[in-house]
Structure 1
């Protein structure tokens, strides 16, 4: 594990979250590169859907708990921590943390590899990000690969990235990182879900006012009804949190 100043862990359904803010994460990632560490940095961004899945899948739960950081990418996780009397500081959205990493990479003239989504989406995401962050050298590949695909791994290793953002959706993106993390040195590896679709212009984030009200999940549901089936995990998540609350009494 990489050394860090913030060691407090918050238990939500046996997923152990780092009690960090966005400011903490930005400073820690900057410090990580300044210290010239050889170890890589594995960051998991977990929302209620991921926590619910992990709570009933021991292998996946152990995998994400082995990460260097597990951060709360979801209002539901933060609210659950408050109900459990162990409040997390704030939600740290994965796409916003990725943007903070890109700002650092731009300043440091670093190398970023985008792995995930469809060919045309990741191509457009790369094109848009190159325009926004011209000091970054970008590599990319679509995400329709097997976790064991060694050819793609070699492409990424030969690129010598400072960051690898994996947008395959859970649990595959974390499984890919966990399987190959030791193949890299001084690299930040993070699962970023649907972020490349946002950067590629395929999907839009909620307006800032909606985000400030912690209702981004409602906005995503309204504009993409295919997410309706995934929303069913939220009441299950809340039920399990209730059981954890009662167990603590």
Structure 2
């Protein structure tokens, strides 16, 4: 089985959820840097249309398949991926490990009230984790003060919830300034942790209709959902 699967020029790691957890934990235990992208069809399509963004995603150490559409595409290409690795599930798993290992964690992104609620929830649910700092997603992009402040706190895990494409851009442009730390774009996971948004129930997840549940709850997402059929068409063209 291939270690990576190429889908529209994006190289997805072909691994299990537990192996991915172990890879990230090993980087943290060794004091190494790593950049993780949790990519769904929307991210792949944006990368196809934006060369700069594609470069950011391709610079990541790991791109994991967050989205059943990615698994569908891999099957269409006859290069099946082992399993879906969602950004939310990976975030929660890493917070659990941070609690067990006493890792230093930094939370960046979201509105101030959402960021604070998510931070409070994280501290309550994972009391042995060391939340060394947090900042909302509204800051001067060209000001180096925030980046220097985060680096000075020596975080092991940096959760960047700026939404795509901003979170991948921020990580790619700033990771060189850090000596260690696993950086992962967690997107809307911060909203779920904060209680702003509810994740789809297991019933919808088992049917692989989590995307439809989100659309019912947030009808304004319909334009974003149009990326999926376009993505499938583009993958069919590459067969």
TM-score over 0.5 for the pair: yes
Instruction: Write out the 4+ residue segments of structure 1 that deviate beyond 3 Å after TM superposition.
Output: none
Pairwise CA distance, 1:210: 1.3
Unaligned 5+ runs, structure 1: 1-5
Instruction: Indicate the residue corresponding to 2:125 in structure 1.
Output: 132
Instruction: Indicate the residue corresponding to 2:194 in structure 1.
Output: 200
Whole-angstrom distance in 1 between the partners of 2:99 and 2:122: 10
**Could you state the TM-score of these two structures normalised by the residue count of structure 1?**
0.92
Where does 1:89-108 land on structure 2 (aligned, <5 Å)?
Answer: 89-108=82-101
Whole-angstrom distance in 1 between the partners of 2:28 and 2:114: 29
Q: Which whole-Å deviations, capped at 9, do the CAs of 1:136-166 have from their partners, x for residues lacking one?
A: 1212100022432312112211221111111
**Which of 56, 59, 66 is equivalent to 2:59?**
66
Q: Which whole-Å deviations, capped at 9, do the CAs of 1:188-209 have from their partners, x for residues lacking one?
A: 1000111111111100100112
Which shifted more, 121-130 or 132-141? Answer: 132-141
Q: Which whole-Å deviations, capped at 9, do the CAs of 1:90-113 have from their partners, x for residues lacking one?
A: 110011111111111111111111
Whole-angstrom distance in 1 between the partners of 2:11 and 2:68: 16
Pairwise CA distance, 1:49: 0.3
- The question of 1:223 aligning with 2:217 is answered yes
User: How many residue pairs get matched?
Assistant: 238
Instruction: Indicate the residue corresponding to 1:112 in structure 2.
Output: 105
Instruction: Indicate the residue corresponding to 2:138 in structure 1.
Output: 144
- The question of 1:187 aligning with 2:181 is answered yes
Pairwise CA distance, 1:62: 2.0
Whole-angstrom distance in 1 between the partners of 2:2 and 2:72: 21
Instruction: Indicate the residue corresponding to 1:17 in structure 2.
Output: 12
Contact 1:74 1:93 in 2 (8 A): yes
